[in-house]
Homo-oligomer: A and B are copies of this chain.
Amino acid sequence: MGEARERRGGDSASRHEELRAELRSRGYRLTPQRQLVLEAVEELQHATPEQILQVVRRKARGVNISTVYRTLELLEDLDLVTHTHLGDRAPTYHSTSTPAHAHAVCRACGRVSEVPPEAVERFAATLLERYGFRLDIRHLAVFGECTECPQARSGEQAVTSKA
């Protein structure tokens, strides 16, 4: 349909077609909701389903949280997004179009930092060679404490809260 528009789209129109093709090859359909969820994940970087819903709703009203869950499951199956657990609450979703990295979560101050693949490489190699295990770096979240942190954990329990 519309052959005159082929190279008109510049960027977002072609991504739109790529996504549609990806979905169609598996028997799925492209819907506004699916597009918006993917865009929201890409925009937010570290987003919970609820946060994604809020962003989606800014662009289209009436979208339901269950659609977000169903869509995230689908996008993850298509390897367009991944999720990890940065706390005991809701998981966070990430776009696979951004460079892979792991996360380090400080239980004292709550800060989440990104850990580049280089820092994990040797560990991953060890697991593979010695334990026959292939680590998924995008899912990796390590918990502990920043060394220069206001130091909790001295009788009081570590603060996981959003302070």
The reply on A127 being an interface residue by CB < 8 A is yes
Tell me if A104 and B131 are in contact (CB < 8 A).
Answer: yes
Q: A123-B122, A123-B123, A157-B77 are in contact. Are A131 and B113 (CB under 8 A)?
A: yes
Check if A127 sits within 8 Å of B140, measured CB to CB. Answer: no
A6 interface residue per 8 A CB criterion? no
Chain A, interface size: which category? 20 to 34
Q: Which residues of B contact A131 (CB under 8 A)?
A: 104, 113, 115, 119
Give the residue of B113, B122, B144, B157 whose beta carbon is less than 8 angstroms from that of A135: B144
The residue in chain B whose Cβ has the minimal distance to the Cβ of A76 is B157
8 Å CB contact of A147 from B134, B140, B143, B144? B134
Residue of B nearest to A74 (CB): B157
In the complex, are the beta carbons of B133 and A106 less than 8 A apart?
yes
Residue contact B119 to A147, C-beta cutoff 8 Å: no
